[in-house]
Amino acid sequence: MTDNGADQRLAAPTIDEVLEAAGALKGVAVETPLLENVAVDAGLAGRLLVKAETAQRTGSFKFRGAYNRIRQFDDAARARGVIAYSSGNHAQAVADAARLVGARALIVMPDDAPANKMDRTRELGARIVTYDRAVESREAVAERIGTERDLVMVPPNEDARVLAGAGTMALELILQAEALGATLDAVLVPCGGGGLTAATALVCEALSPVTRVFAVEPELFDDTRRSLEAGERLANPKGRTTICDAIMTDRPGELTFAINRDRLGGVLTVSDDEVRSAMKFAFDQFKIVIEPGAAVGLAAVLGGKIESAGQTIAVVATGGNVDAASYCAALAAASPTRDRD
């Protein structure tokens, strides 16, 4: 497919485009496991399935969308190179995908992004330009630099090809659940810009319409919740912070908000303390390392934000890119998870 890089495809991907992306990703991306623990199920009086995108290439689901976008570059676009903006996971995914197709990559990252995410992005061959997220817009910085250097923008969410790639996670999840004899009552998706949430909602609408999709946000970065209630995109107030760096976005995307507005079962919010407890629970019960922003779905279940009794609920553990010191500190500060009645 030819692509001059100018068309950002601000339209929802079709299920056929998701299926086509799945074919293109086969043998490149990892088919990540769907985990279940019978003791956990007994405590919840339902079934809890954990989609471990922590095992994905570059450590998060973001590789799916980045590669699906960049693989469609023509020779001219590859020669120009890629620019993207990200706090870390999309950065690593774009760097790796660009490396695979032989394109150079430049990533705009906040100056307070975790050091391990910056280091890994550089190790994958990308250059980094930092900005101050308290006073600067990452989109504006990236647009300015991209125009000056004639680079092709690969946004984390606002492109149908990126969303189609992200949607392959939901496709895998549905098929894996079916193989376990499970019909998903709900899927809980960590939500920053809303891309994976939107892609999951589109795939479930097409292939599993009985499944409700919930976005899950940090309680101080609940822009999707407030935007859906208001009927328009609202920004988060400046100056707030959370340990969930991967989903500290300013506001919902234009495309993702349009998709999510009519398709979500709701939006759940969790505190940083609940996230720490969920990270420890994932380590203890599922033997996986989840970064804070990826643990919000599990935190919502454990915190009783959604009814689990008699339900089959999947949570997406979207990534595991957390440095050892921060991870150990989060587990040390975690409150014990109380048994659910």
Domain ranges of the chain: 18-60+160-333, 63-153
Q: Global pTM?
A: 0.94
Do 18-60+160-333 and 63-153 fold alike per CATH?
A: yes
Chain segment 260-308, per-residue pLDDT in tens: 999 999 999 999 999 999 999 999 999 999 999 999 999 999 999 999 9
pLDDT at 8: 58
- Which CATH architecture does the domain made up of 18-60+160-333 adopt? 3-Layer(aba) Sandwich (3.40)
Q: Please give the sequence-ordered ranges of beta strands (E in DSSP) within 196-300, or none if there are none.
A: 212-218, 266-270
**Cβ–Cβ under 8 Å, residues 196 and 318:** yes
Q: Give CA–CA dist 70/97, Å, rounded.
A: 7
Token pair in block for residue 196: 């994976």
CATH fold for the domain made of 63-153: Rossmann fold (3.40.50)
pLDDT at 337: 65
Work out the mean pLDDT of the chain and round it to a whole number.
Answer: 94
Give 117's pLDDT tier (boundaries 50, 70, 90): very high
Assign residue 176 a region (left: φ > 0; alpha: ψ between -120 and 50; beta: otherwise). alpha
Assign residue 27 a region (left: φ > 0; alpha: ψ between -120 and 50; beta: otherwise). left
Is pLDDT above 60 for 1? no
Assign residue 109 a region (left: φ > 0; alpha: ψ between -120 and 50; beta: otherwise). beta
Chain segment 206-263, per-residue pLDDT in tens: 999 999 999 999 999 999 999 999 999 999 998 899 999 999 988 999 999 999 999 9
3-state DSSP call for residue 269?
A: strand
